[in-house]
Structure 1
Amino acid sequence: MKKSTSLSNILQLVIPEEKLHPILDELNYVDVGRKFTVYDLFLFLGEASFQQWNGYRDGEQRMAHSGLRSVDHSTLSKKAKDVPYELFKRLMNVMIGLCNRKTKRVLGIPKELLIVDSTTISVGLGRLPWTPIKGKKAGVKLHVGIIGDRTELHKVTETTGKEHDLNSCKDLLDSRYILVADRAYGKHKLFDLYQEQENRQYFVIRLHNNTTFTNPIPRNRKRPFSGSVEQDLTCQLGKNKALSENLFRVVILKDPKGNPVVLATNLHWYSPEGIAAIYKKRWQIEVFFRWIKQHLNIPKLFGTTENAVYGQLYVALLVYVLLKLLFEQGSATVHFSAKLTFADFDRLFTLQRLPLEWRIYLTNAVNLITRI
């Protein structure tokens, strides 16, 4: 194959077609397509996400120009409806395993953060009648865990829009990291489970402001609080049936608007300012959601079935993981005078206007990736 810096060519080198075959066998899916295969659909969804195509009809006009096998929009739609989305979910996990730095088992206290949250992609009820949300709206959720500071995608699962975030949290947990989450994940009985399981799950999770503190004990402190921290105490959480069995630490601070932010944690040896700093990093996942919605076409769902919708979303996330790796390795390779921001790299790559040094890097980048 002639070397190219187009996304589909890089995808073919990083995830060749033979990687799909064992997954399809496990899923008991037989690809009967000849003119347009499952692998062709995978490449189409990758380019459609990267170039932000408007749908199957728009993609039909652009496929040939992007080096993809051309078919009509009805063939695209039928194939996307037919192929189990679990295939693309597994391919995304293959890419995560290939691209993310390998995490060794942490002995002692983990230092890195696992930031967890969900985002909803909503449309009119007529398009997705199988997943109503409220009124005339329908939608699906992506429940995501990212590694803080590195903003690497770690785990993802999917649900319908009505599913509570708490129900998917167990699929995102990893005791090698400190879990950081918002109020939707603040169930007291789960805190007991995190504390008592064999590999303790450390966490910093925001509580509802009306949470009851049972038998609170202020923590000793020789110096006044700094920053936005106002209180630091140890207590049981909740009352009656919702009362936690274990004691947890509660740190209360003020947000920039003066509203209280109540944090629960089992990190008893951190300073309260350190706990506050950990929680403030939760904002990184909001930035991540905003970026993928703006740059990977995620709000523009092409199909109307589970396979079509979730398949498109998982390929888009796979593209994010690949772009992140290409950018980080490129930043470490090119001369400092050619450095780019991630946003500029994505924009110029999409327009095929990357500086020469970056284009040279990309022609050799796949060899670097496959040696990881």
Structure 2
Amino acid sequence: MVRQASLFSQLVALFHRGQFFNLVYRHQAERYAKGFSSWDHFVAMLFCQLAQAKSLREICGGLSCCLGKLRHLGVKKAPNKSTLSYANAHRPWQLYRDLFYQTLDTCKMAGPGKHRFRFKNKLLSLDSSTISLCLSLFPWAKFRRTKGAVKLHLLLDHDGYLPTYAYISNGKKHDVTIARQVPLSPYSIVAMDRGYNDYQLFAYWTENQIFFVTRLKDNADYTVVETRSVPYNRNILADELIRFNGYYAQKRCPHLLRKVVVWDKEQNREIILLTNHMDLGATTISAIYKDRWQIELFFKALKQNLKVKTFVGTTENALFIQIWTALIAMLLIKYLSFKAKFGWSLSNLVAFLRWNLFTYRDLWGWIDHPFDVFPIRPESVQNLLPFKGLGQHQLRMGT
């Protein structure tokens, strides 16, 4: 007798149905719905991400061929292509954004509570990634003359490397514009690349006791106010306090900042860092900026393992729904990796889930011992196994 639902059913069961329907009511997502509920829509889009479905046909066909296993998901019927397409175009994408933040709260409770550094400040990374689009299919996402694009802006928490803030904008919007909107708590440390250089932003963060670590622009004009001693036998070349010289630079950022020059052995070059944190050691400042690479790895994992480069709908609403569902799926995968005793890499976990979505296994036993937990056979098939005279066709048909 089968005592477990499929892996996909157990994954979907991790989402609180009551909280989901509260979001549906808040956003009025089913005001004009007829038969195809928001829960069915969410299950279909989550299946698109975890099963790597490339089109509406694959989503609907994949769910239809597993119809007997959908009752555990709370889904009565697999959607038609036209129904799913209409839902992607008209259901509010804000529902999926709020569901992302609800899922994030659950992941934070399961994840590690501290980053790898000794200081107690919250460590974050801020960056964006451009998602290229075909301008003829996505005319609303005009980026350049012949190209279309949207930007995914993320704030990554280094406690478990979870995305704590996400924003989707058009490709033309500058990163600094979004950085001004990102909610940051006092005494947190934000690591970012050179694209976020803005003196007014630096002054705002300094005045609100928010620390940053970034790279200094090559053409920055400044005066060295104080030279500090550098640690012996480290890759630190200089540690100085500076003040900007330009009229507008002084007007926008009159504060004293710190410049740390680091020697990169791998690239054989100097890296000039800029920060407003005066107390941490220069070696720690260098390690903070090096750990910023984790957000680049997050974007790489997101694009390689989930569906954020090709889309099943061409409207802005459909694209936003698919990207937010991809972020929800990433949180789900992170949650499983936090709970697992097995040393999963993210790409392997995504691949193994895709191959076993509709197999009857205990989810928590499987993520701990993926090669020791065997799939459970349905009772109807077990009863047929002793009859060796049955052909393969009869066995499949259950006759």
- TM-score tier by shorter-chain length is 0.7 to 0.9
Determine the structure 2 residue equivalent to 1:370.
none
Are the aligned partners of 2:230 and 2:239 in contact in 1 as well (CA < 8 Å)? no
Within 2, Cα distance between the matches of 1:361 and 1:174? Answer: 38
Determine the structure 2 residue equivalent to 1:249.
258
Task: Tell me which structure has the larger Cα radius of gyration.
Answer: 2
Count the aligned residue pairs: 350
Within 2, Cα distance between the matches of 1:94 and 1:149? Answer: 17
**Alpha carbons of 1:177 and 1:350: their partners in 2 closer, same or farther (altered >3 Å)?**
farther
**Alpha carbons of 1:191 and 1:225: their partners in 2 closer, same or farther (altered >3 Å)?**
farther
Question: Could you tell me the TM-score, scaled by structure 1's length?
Answer: 0.85
Are the aligned partners of 2:7 and 2:360 in contact in 1 as well (CA < 8 Å)? no
Equivalent in 182, 186, 191 of residue 180 of structure 1? 191
Within 2, Cα distance between the matches of 1:110 and 1:203? Answer: 15
1:133 paired with 2:133, answer no
Within 1, Cα distance between the matches of 2:205 and 2:366? Answer: 44
- By how many angstroms is 1:52 displaced? 0.8
SS state of the match for residue 172, structure 2? coil
Are the aligned partners of 2:305 and 2:347 in contact in 1 as well (CA < 8 Å)? no
Cα offsets for 1:85-120 (capped at 9, x unmatched): 11100000000012113999xxxx743420110111
**Alpha carbons of 1:238 and 1:180: their partners in 2 closer, same or farther (altered >3 Å)?**
farther
**Alpha carbons of 1:40 and 1:157: their partners in 2 closer, same or farther (altered >3 Å)?**
same
1:216 paired with 2:216, answer no
Determine the structure 2 residue equivalent to 1:20.
20
Determine the structure 1 residue equivalent to 2:170.
160
Equivalent in 295, 309, 313 of residue 305 of structure 2? 295
- By how many angstroms is 1:2 displaced? 7.0
User: Structure 2: which amino acid aligns with 1:206?
Assistant: R
Equivalent in 286, 292, 296 of residue 286 of structure 1? 296
Unaligned runs of 5+ in 1: 332-337, 364-372
**Alpha carbons of 1:263 and 1:339: their partners in 2 closer, same or farther (altered >3 Å)?**
closer
**Alpha carbons of 1:308 and 1:271: their partners in 2 closer, same or farther (altered >3 Å)?**
same
Are the aligned partners of 1:31 and 1:38 in contact in 2 as well (CA < 8 Å)? no
Are the aligned partners of 1:8 and 1:47 in contact in 2 as well (CA < 8 Å)? no
- By how many angstroms is 1:223 displaced? 4.9
SS state of the match for residue 219, structure 1? strand
**Alpha carbons of 1:239 and 1:273: their partners in 2 closer, same or farther (altered >3 Å)?**
same
Determine the structure 2 residue equivalent to 1:193.
204
Within 2, Cα distance between the matches of 1:77 and 1:222? Answer: 60
1:234 paired with 2:241, answer yes
Are the aligned partners of 2:5 and 2:361 in contact in 1 as well (CA < 8 Å)? no
Cα offsets for 1:294-316 (capped at 9, x unmatched): 11111111111221101110011
Within 1, Cα distance between the matches of 2:316 and 2:309? Answer: 15
Equivalent in 344, 347, 351 of residue 347 of structure 1? 351
SS state of the match for residue 35, structure 1? coil
SS state of the match for residue 130, structure 1? helix
Are the aligned partners of 1:122 and 1:138 in contact in 2 as well (CA < 8 Å)? yes
Percentage of identical aligned residues: 24
Are the aligned partners of 1:5 and 1:362 in contact in 2 as well (CA < 8 Å)? no
Determine the structure 2 residue equivalent to 1:82.
90
Unaligned runs of 5+ in 2: 114-118, 369-399
**Alpha carbons of 1:64 and 1:236: their partners in 2 closer, same or farther (altered >3 Å)?**
same
Are the aligned partners of 2:7 and 2:362 in contact in 1 as well (CA < 8 Å)? no
Are the aligned partners of 2:56 and 2:84 in contact in 1 as well (CA < 8 Å)? yes
- By how many angstroms is 1:51 displaced? 1.1
